[in-house]
A and B are shown apart, each in its own frame.
Chain A
């Protein structure tokens, strides 16, 4: 590859940016690119120009599941230590307070059948909630949620509709992902629920079994 001649460099850089250098030719070019400032400048020239074509494409908003999957992978890649311990602690509190069973590491693969994203008024996703109706498991992952005020907890509720009272689904974790096992009747209720709600409660959850604090967020649970 005669990389020194300017016109040749422009051509190679242009073909690279157009996606026309394939396989070994692309690898070779990328190796040169690492150390050759002139080639870097020529490549940038084409990248900045051709990228303007992208702005003319009619944008297509990806399905929410793509963002959910990205966030799930970020969590898996970076949060192993403290976050996980906090999540387990939060789950234990939730399990004790509300009488749910907690399985520390469920063996079967979690198959999401229903999903909800709790978002704030600005649309920032705060928690991702997934239901595996087959195995009666509910997974809650903290996304961009802020910690609750001191002495408070966020509690998740399902709204069964038809005038029936909200039913608690446990406390929301500050960090990490918490999986709880629901009783069968709760799964039935949840599948028919009209929505989910998050209220601010005293630390450890509502003392009455019904929301006592303000309802901060609502979300819809949809089948995947």
Chain B
């Protein structure tokens, strides 16, 4: 089991409501981000300690080279420091905001770097990487997991390979041995079904 570099603070032993846990974490991260915006380096360091391990794990999957992942993580957090004042709590969660910056920078780098890992290995890793379902911490996550499980195999694997491993339509097609047109339609159908399911949930 990976060891978390921090402990989540909860009220003394009282189990939190599912949404409250996610919201409390988001409120705490938003507070750290606001304080960073006013030049509070201790808050910025705390934000880094809490969020960098997750973003770094993602970057390692997206970029597959540690040195590259470290470089992009650096760029992301320098940018977070400079643009912290632009975060607007009304416009989504802190993790979503950080994820957008991370993803866009990683994709920019991917365009310039050649992939070093054969794609069929990646697809195999993706298969093996399906962790058993852990207890979910908040409703959004559980809803996504339930709706996601309801998808057919093609759309399900395509969406995961795109989001978590940064594969393009063409790369997903190669990884799954499916025609490009099929993959494009899997993605479209997958997103449409998820949207319907999530809104109905």
- A residues adjacent to B (C-beta < 8 A): 7, 10-11, 14-15, 17-20, 22-23, 26, 40, 44, 46-63, 65-67, 69-71, 73-74, 77, 123-125, 143-144
A73 touches B74 (CB 8 A): yes
Contacts of B55 in A (CB 8 A): 54
Nearest opposing residue in chain B for A37, CB measure: B91
Known contacts A58-B57, A59-B4, A125 near B70 by CB under 8 Å: no
Report the minimum CB–CB distance from A60 to chain B (whole Å). 4
Main secondary structure of the interface of A (DSSP, over half): helix
Contacts of B112 in A (CB 8 A): none
Choose from A18, A52, A59, A67 the contact partner of B140 (Cβ within 8 Å). A52
Check B131 for interface membership: any CB of A closer than 8 A: yes
Choose from B41, B56, B162 the contact partner of A62 (Cβ within 8 Å). B56
Among listed B10-18, B119-127, B186-194, interface-contacting one? B186-194
A59 to B8, CA, bound (A): 14
A54 to B134, CA, bound (A): 13
A15 to B77, CA, bound (A): 25
Nearest opposing residue in chain A for B26, CB measure: A48
A40 touches B91 (CB 8 A): yes
A176 to B195, CA, bound (A): 51
Contacts of A52 in B (CB 8 A): 138, 140-141, 144
Check B111 for interface membership: any CB of A closer than 8 A: yes
10 contacts between A and B (CB under 8 A): A15-B191, A18-B163, A22-B111, A40-B91, A47-B93, A48-B93, A55-B141, A56-B134, A58-B57, A61-B56
A7 touches B73 (CB 8 A): no
For residues 141 through 171 of chain B, which have their beta carbon under 8 Å from a beta carbon of chain A?
Answer: 141, 143-144, 159-160, 162-164, 166, 168-169
A66 to B73, CA, bound (A): 8
Contacts of A11 in B (CB 8 A): 188, 191-192
B42 touches A124 (CB 8 A): yes
Known contacts A23-B111, A70-B48, A51 near B78 by CB under 8 Å: no
B162 touches A77 (CB 8 A): no
Check B68 for interface membership: any CB of A closer than 8 A: no
A70 to B79, CA, bound (A): 10
Contacts of B57 in A (CB 8 A): 54, 57-60
A51 touches B96 (CB 8 A): yes
B70 touches A63 (CB 8 A): yes
Contacts of A26 in B (CB 8 A): 104, 107
Contacts of B95 in A (CB 8 A): 51, 54-55
Most buried by B among A22, A57, A69, A144: A57
B187 touches A53 (CB 8 A): no
B162 touches A47 (CB 8 A): no
B99 touches A54 (CB 8 A): yes
Known contacts A47-B99, A48-B92, A57-B58, A70 near B77 by CB under 8 Å: yes
Contacts of B198 in A (CB 8 A): 49
Contacts of A73 in B (CB 8 A): 74, 78
**B11-49 vs A, Cβ < 8 Å mask (1 yes, 0 no):** 000000000000000000000000000000110010011
Contacts of B195 in A (CB 8 A): 10, 14
For residues 88 through 126 of chain B, which have their beta carbon under 8 Å from a beta carbon of chain A?
Answer: 91-93, 95-96, 99-100, 103-104, 107, 111
Nearest opposing residue in chain B for A18, CB measure: B162
B41 touches A143 (CB 8 A): yes
Contacts of A62 in B (CB 8 A): 52-53, 56, 70, 73
B192 touches A7 (CB 8 A): yes
Contacts of B78 in A (CB 8 A): 70, 73-74, 77
